[in-house]
Chain A
Amino acid sequence: MRTCSCIYESEINKENKFYTLSQNTAMADDGSGAGSQVALVTGGYDHTIKLWQAHSGVCLRTMQHPDSQVNGLEISPTGQMVAACGYQHIRLYDLASANPDPVVNFEGITKNVSRVGFQKDDLWMYTGGEDWTARIWDPRALPQFSCTKIFQVQAPVNAVMLHPDQTQIMVGDQSGIIHMWDLRTDQNEQLIPEAEASIQDIAIDPEGKMMAAVNNKGNCYVWSLGGSAPHPVPLKHIVAHSKYALRCKFSLDSTMLVTTSGDCSAKVWRTSDWSLLRELRNETQRWVWDAAFSIDSRYLFTGSSDSYARLWDVEKGTLEREYCGHQKAITALAFRDQTV
């Protein structure tokens, strides 16, 4: 399996040798960007993707995302690439180079792609979109062996989330159904937490023990996974927001769940008792579209409609940094931290 991912990487590297070289000289010293270590990437309605130096708030690079807003961003497991999905487009950008254009374009989609993610060894990529499908893409595109897969549902797909065991994808759609798609058997199981409420996002904690989903009514549902029961067991229902919820994410230590919403706030919940730990609000921030925790679960990034991304100290509830540069709303962000 490792060899497969190596082939993919080396192929990419071969193709972009020029960029990789130029990057090494350009970004060797700032400790951010690429081979780097800490990378914050944001994208939104202004058709650009920006790479930030997270600790200083300085924008290092702007990448072009023509013809579409950015619905979702995900940094590849190696940290070399960032995947962006939007209307009719899924693109891979090389974080390690100074190339403002994508290096890989995935074609054949006619509608909005809402989410993108990677298998943990970079073997394949998964997406979900408004064409009522979830898909597995094989970026290697080898003629002899391709592991592409498609999963059809009965409504536009808003959320896809890969289980940490890498064999199951949770597909949340606008009709309010969560399909648990087993990649090995193509069987699926359905969960309907609330009738006539569109599923907006799904999160599974890094230990694979909890699954959370938020819907357009602002409700958050939590299930426990992988217990003695073979199916998810409802754990908690939180009335998280008064309006549209947009994202939910667990912290790496599984002690916190963040939900973001159209009510202009991001809320951090304790997973121990599901009490509210922090409500992160800013007068100007408007809709909060996306969020990401730092690796030590101490900091949280949010991206919002006022075109700012923000960094919050979760413990103190203080605003630590602001990232300004986008012309329009930030609708997606991805963060990759590094251990020391």
Chain B
Amino acid sequence: MAGEDFSKIFQNKSIEEKNRIRDGRLNQPGPSKGKDAMGDISEEDVEKEIVTRFDPYPDMDDSEDDDPLCDSYVRNDPGFGGRYDRNRTNTGQWLDKKEQALKKAAKIKIIKWEDSSPLTADQLAEAFSKCEVKKPEKTKSLLTQQLQNCPNLPHRQYLEYAKFDGTAQLGLPIKSFKIFMTMLPEKHQNYPLVVCVIASAKIKDLIGFTCYKYSIEHPDISLGSVHDYGLCIAEDDGEVDWAFPCLDANEPCSKFGFTCLGLIELKNKTTLCPAPMPIPEDGMSGAFHVFPKAENSSHSNQNPSRLNTGDSSTSEAVISALKALNEGEPDLNKIQSHIMATEAPQYKAYKVQLLRKVRTNTSVQLGISLDRIEVEPLVTNKHAFWSRSKYFLHSIDSVAWCQILETRGNRTTFRIVYSPSHNATYNDRISTGQNTYIFHPNTAYKIQDFETDHEVAKEIVEKVNTILDLRNSPCRREYKTAKDKKLQTRRSFHTKHLS
């Protein structure tokens, strides 16, 4: 190496020069000092003092000098004062690197080309003996067997991202991340996935490589398309910071300083962070004079904090009050329907289970008021946001139907049928999800099923139906007409066939 040679040349030169100067000084008879003074100066001191033009600058101690001895001197010298720390760290690092390189080199066996002396006939025969060429037998290949045993490769769809692997790249800057797979069910959430990619990889490549790596380690869990996912900033414990938008998929990951990221489903991102939305104030106050708007009602039970009222405490209180008044002949049914009618427009929240086809049921708060039905996921575990369902907000004018489906034990399931197309103001908030289309081909109706106690279910259905009947929205009318028509055609079909 040229650098090495030069440094050695300079070192030798400086030693020569020092010797020359020292000899000159030692032999020089001091004009006033004489021999005594000279005796105080040891040879070492002389050497220390003499700085030749071939000596390196002190600042250049951490330069590309290849002599490790030089640096051990620097490392152990406490005389560097203020610059000591910086020098030690830089030089220390450099030394570590050097040491590692030396260790590495020591492990590599070097075989240099050497022309050998002519071999004897025996040696020649031994080294270059003729082998009998046999026809290779037909054999079964282990590769073939392995290929047959492993036909499914879930990671194949992410294969193109494999090249962003940062481990064992030579000379390329790399970056490591802890990725929390927050879009997976909780049981697969125990540990973050540590991924290392080349620094020039974009965020979308990082997402792809994360999917690639995860599907290799967990071939049994199927992941979706790379385009469905985004990366968000997360805490060390995996809690995603929903206040920030996803990292820009087209930016290189070297641009970001965060090391903990959460992989989320993009559609969850939009529904999980509902922006404050305007609720249409007009259109209902004029139409429904009888029932004051829940918000303005003097005896409104609206609960701004939306406390969960699992039981119907209000109505019970009223019932007992009425009971006390009409102790003689308590016509409870009558009273109840009356209460229902008066109470129906008031906001009330119920804790129910949202039934889902694919994933587990989730607890939601069903908030019902005169103008809307809200389905708000309840967070039982603050880490468990993947199991949160989406936030739904149906304008009451988009709700077409509500009925009890079945009762099993003390659990009752009920269904809300709604039409997103009648929900213009809220449309963009509602995503398709697991809902199925029923009935009219032009007007798409969707359903949401819930489960709760029988009593609560009954109350909710009655409440919703009361409101629906009160509002009698076009959506409900259309739905009813369509339903009746369908019933009729079915009947007429039957009667025709029977006759």
Q: Which A positions have Cβ atoms within 8 angstroms of B? A: 1, 4, 15-16, 31, 37-38, 46-48, 54-59, 61-66, 99-109, 120, 123-124, 135, 137-139, 141, 145-150, 164-167, 183-184, 206-208, 226, 252-253, 294-296, 298-299, 307, 320-322, 324-327, 337-340
Give complex CA distance A37, B125 in Å. 32
6 further A-B contacts with Cβ under 8 Å, apart from A147-B123, A207-B135, A299-B144, are A105-B111, A139-B111, A321-B153, A324-B159, A327-B172, A340-B142
Interface flag for B1 (CB, 8 Å): no
Are A296 and B144 in touch, CB under 8 angstroms? yes
Interface flag for B329 (CB, 8 Å): no
Are A37 and B142 in touch, CB under 8 angstroms? yes
CB under 8 Å from chain A, chain B span 158-180: 159-160, 162-163, 165, 167-172
Are B111 and A337 in touch, CB under 8 angstroms? no
Contact of A167 among B113, B130, B170, B216 (CB under 8 A): B130
- Within 8 Å CB of A109, what residues of B? 113
Q: Which B positions have Cβ atoms within 8 angstroms of A? A: 104, 107-116, 119, 123-133, 135-136, 138-147, 149-150, 153, 155-156, 159-160, 162-163, 165, 167-172, 198, 216
Are B112 and A107 in touch, CB under 8 angstroms? yes
If A107-B112, A294-B141, A295-B143 touch, does A59 touch B150 (CB 8 Å cutoff)? no
Are A54 and B141 in touch, CB under 8 angstroms? no
Give complex CA distance A320, B167 in Å. 26
Are B141 and A339 in touch, CB under 8 angstroms? yes
Contact of B216 among A4, A58, A294 (CB under 8 A): A58
Contact of B130 among A31, A37, A166, A322 (CB under 8 A): A166
Give complex CA distance A321, B150 in Å. 11
**Which has the most chain A C-beta neighbours within 10 Å: B108, B165, B171?**
B108
- Within 8 Å CB of A337, what residues of B? 141-143
If A64-B168, A299-B143, A337-B142 touch, does A327 touch B163 (CB 8 Å cutoff)? yes
Tell me the total A-B contact number using a CB cutoff of 8 A.
179
Q: Whose C-beta in chain B lies nearest to the C-beta of A204?
A: B133
Chain A nearest CB: distance from B140 CB in Å?
A: 5
Are A104 and B111 in touch, CB under 8 angstroms? yes
Chain B nearest CB: distance from A211 CB in Å?
A: 13
- Within 8 Å CB of B119, what residues of A? 145, 147
Q: Whose C-beta in chain B lies nearest to the C-beta of A4?
A: B126
Are B160 and A148 in touch, CB under 8 angstroms? no
> What are 30 pairs between A and B in contact, CB < 8 Å?
A48-B168, A55-B147, A56-B153, A57-B156, A61-B168, A65-B170, A100-B168, A104-B108, A108-B113, A137-B111, A138-B111, A141-B111, A147-B128, A164-B133, A165-B133, A166-B128, A206-B133, A206-B135, A226-B133, A294-B143, A296-B139, A299-B143, A320-B147, A321-B147, A322-B156, A325-B162, A325-B163, A327-B169, A340-B139, A340-B142
Q: Whose C-beta in chain B lies nearest to the C-beta of A150?
A: B115
Are B127 and A340 in touch, CB under 8 angstroms? no
If A46-B170, A320-B147 touch, does A184 touch B139 (CB 8 Å cutoff)? no
Q: Whose C-beta in chain B lies nearest to the C-beta of A99?
A: B107
Q: Whose C-beta in chain B lies nearest to the C-beta of A67?
A: B170
If A1-B129, A62-B168 touch, does A148 touch B114 (CB 8 Å cutoff)? yes
- Within 8 Å CB of A56, what residues of B? 150, 153, 216
**Which has the most chain B C-beta neighbours within 10 Å: A106, A146, A167?**
A146
If A120-B131, A167-B128 touch, does A307 touch B144 (CB 8 Å cutoff)? no
Are B111 and A38 in touch, CB under 8 angstroms? no
What DSSP secondary structure best describes chain A's contact surface?
loop
Give complex CA distance A251, B38 in Å. 87
- Within 8 Å CB of B115, what residues of A? 148, 150
Are B162 and A106 in touch, CB under 8 angstroms? no
If A55-B147, A147-B119, A208-B133 touch, does A339 touch B109 (CB 8 Å cutoff)? no
Give complex CA distance A298, B167 in Å. 33
Are A108 and B135 in touch, CB under 8 angstroms? no
Are A148 and B116 in touch, CB under 8 angstroms? yes
- Within 8 Å CB of B135, what residues of A? 206-207
Are A294 and B144 in touch, CB under 8 angstroms? yes
4 closest A-B pairs by CB: A108-B113, A62-B168, A55-B146, A296-B141
Contact of B127 among A123, A252, A298, A322 (CB under 8 A): A123
- Within 8 Å CB of A307, what residues of B? 163
- Within 8 Å CB of B165, what residues of A? 59, 62, 325
Give complex CA distance A109, B111 in Å. 11
- Within 8 Å CB of B131, what residues of A? 120, 164-167
Chain B nearest CB: distance from A163 CB in Å?
A: 8
Are B153 and A147 in touch, CB under 8 angstroms? no
Are A339 and B142 in touch, CB under 8 angstroms? yes
- Within 8 Å CB of B159, what residues of A? 57, 322, 324
If A307-B163, A340-B141 touch, does A252 touch B136 (CB 8 Å cutoff)? yes
If A320-B147, A324-B162 touch, does A338 touch B111 (CB 8 Å cutoff)? no
- Within 8 Å CB of B111, what residues of A? 104-107, 137-139, 141
Give complex CA distance A63, B149 in Å. 28
Chain A nearest CB: distance from B349 CB in Å?
A: 51
Give complex CA distance A253, B162 in Å. 34
- Within 8 Å CB of A207, what residues of B? 133, 135-136
Q: Whose C-beta in chain A lies nearest to the C-beta of B146?
A: A55
Chain B nearest CB: distance from A49 CB in Å?
A: 10
Chain B nearest CB: distance from A319 CB in Å?
A: 11
Contact of B136 among A54, A62, A166, A253 (CB under 8 A): A253
Are B139 and A101 in touch, CB under 8 angstroms? no
Chain A nearest CB: distance from B491 CB in Å?
A: 57
Are A299 and B147 in touch, CB under 8 angstroms? yes
- Within 8 Å CB of A166, what residues of B? 128-131
- Within 8 Å CB of B145, what residues of A? 340
Give complex CA distance A62, B155 in Å. 19
Contact of A108 among B112, B132, B144, B216 (CB under 8 A): B112
Give complex CA distance A325, B165 in Å. 7
Give complex CA distance A62, B163 in Å. 12
